[in-house]
Structure 1
Amino acid sequence: MTKHYNITVKGIVQGVWYRKNTQDKARELEIKGFVKNLPNGDVYLEAEGNEQQLKLLLDWCAIGPEHARVEHVSFEEADLKSFRHFEIER
């Protein structure tokens, strides 16, 4: 069953290729949605996939790419939007 998560990642997550690496991981996991930087320095994702796919993505988000320093990941389930791809929003 497909689920939709709104995910916020806090820490040193901008300027460290977090969005591109998240896109690569999401595509590898066949997750649809988007990732973007927020003005406050956080990274925000909306992701759709099955529970196992989303768990793997959340696990990855808690670590992030090499130079990221993730302090906290939060998520909430929301209504499906039926994304077709996983994109970086600028």
Structure 2
Amino acid sequence: MQNQSQKQIRAHVFISGQVQGVGYRLSTVSEARQCSVNGWVRNIPDGRVEAVFEGTKSGVEEMINWCHKGPSAAVVKDVAVEYEEPEGLNGFETRR
């Protein structure tokens, strides 16, 4: 049986502000790999960045905290988080 620290969680995140064209997706991929979090990130037409993070509670929370600042060129206004059931994603990628 898994203990709480190993339990997998999933966060579906929408980041708004000046977050497109500033290296946000590339930085998210790098950060997610450092946190051992699986999932994906993409720009969406309304100007926000959408991401899904799956991993340990601590890893996913670390990613959500990072999203509030993002890369140095980003100006993050809001981070909306919805928790969902994990799908068992492997790796982290940029989607179009």
Q: Would the TM-score normalized by the shorter structure come out above 0.5? A: yes
Aligned pairs for 1:5-84 (under 5 A) are 5-84=11-90
Could you say what the CA RMSD is over the residues aligned between the two structures, in angstroms? 0.6
Structure with max Cα Rg: 2
Structure 1 segments unaligned to the other structure (5+ residues)? none
TM-score (norm 2): 0.91
TM-score w.r.t. the length of structure 1 is: 0.97
Question: Given residue 79 of structure 1, which amino acid in structure 2 is its aligned partner?
Answer: E
* Number of residue pairs aligned between Structure 1 and Structure 2: 90
Matched with 2:8 is 2
**Structure 2: which 5+ runs fail to align?**
1-6
Greater than 3 Å deviation, 4+ residue runs: none
Identity score, percent = 32
